[in-house]
Amino acid sequence: MEPRRVADNVVVVARSFNPTILSQVWFVRHGIIEENEFAQTCVFSPFVVDARTKAFQLLVTPDRLQLTFRPDADRAATIRAVLQRIVQLLPHTPYVAVGFNVQYEIVPEATTYAAKLRKAMLVPEGPLAEHFREPDARFGSHLAKQVGEMRMTMEVKPARRNEQAGAPEVVSLAFNFHRDLNSDDKATVLVAALGSWDQAMLEAQTIAHAFGAKWEAL
């Protein structure tokens, strides 16, 4: 079963970041966003910046920068042009960590959903199996491993499509790739970490598609 990619973003955690630095004039002066690319819904204030274009949304608060992509955006190129450029221009910002997030959904047939979820997620001889025999029981899993210089966590869980009550049940595959910035030269490490987006997304895609194929065979 083909998993559907439903969301992805990049989060850079910082300490006491000053959003007022990132004004429209600043973005234009440094060639990050052209003057005619700003959407009318942009917000620039002392406490939050919400810069929007046809390719992305950049949300900036004192503790983080979050880059969210439009569906047809080139993710790696946008990261280079926006986040890596900001970090290179503001290297003395107290950056703390960086994370990549991507979520997939599998939309199974309703008639087989519960049975397949049980087979995929619950060990029959495990200590919890006897406590979750009811037809309405649902199961999930939390997994983690190292991928390059980032720690990957994966959460597999039952959910509702678009998180709406009454919507069809789906299997949500949520990936996070995290790296703490412990080096003295945090900006250099952060720029390098941001460059590993494609590697992380390939790992997530490979796992998601393998899960979908196994699900189909259950």
- The predicted-structure confidence for 70-129, as pLDDT tens digits, reads as follows 999 999 999 999 999 999 999 999 999 999 999 999 998 988 999 999 999 988 888 998
Yes or no: say if 83 and 194 are a contact pair by the CB < 8 Å rule.
yes
Query: What's the number of domains the chain is made of?
Result: 1
Rg of the chain taking only CA atoms, in angstroms: 20
Which whole-number Å values give the CA distances from 71 to 4, 55, 66, 75, 165, in the listed order? 12, 8, 16, 9, 25
The parent domain of residue 43 ranges over 4-217
Q: Is 151 exposed, middle or buried (0-12, 13-18, 19+ CB in 10 A)?
A: middle
**φ, ψ of residue 212 in degrees (nearest 5):** -60, -40
Q: Does the pTM of the predicted model rise above 0.75?
A: yes
Strands (E), the chain: 4-14, 43-44, 49-52, 56-61, 64-69, 95-106, 141-147, 150-160, 169-180
Residues of the chain with pLDDT under 70: 162-163
Taking phi over 0 as left and psi of -120 to 50 as alpha, with beta for the rest, 77 belongs to: alpha
Token pair listed for 24: 């429209």
Model pLDDT, residue 168: 87
Closest of 154, 132, 169, 168 to residue 210, by C-alpha: 154
Model pLDDT, residue 142: 97
Contacts of 18 (CB under 8 A, 6+ apart): 62
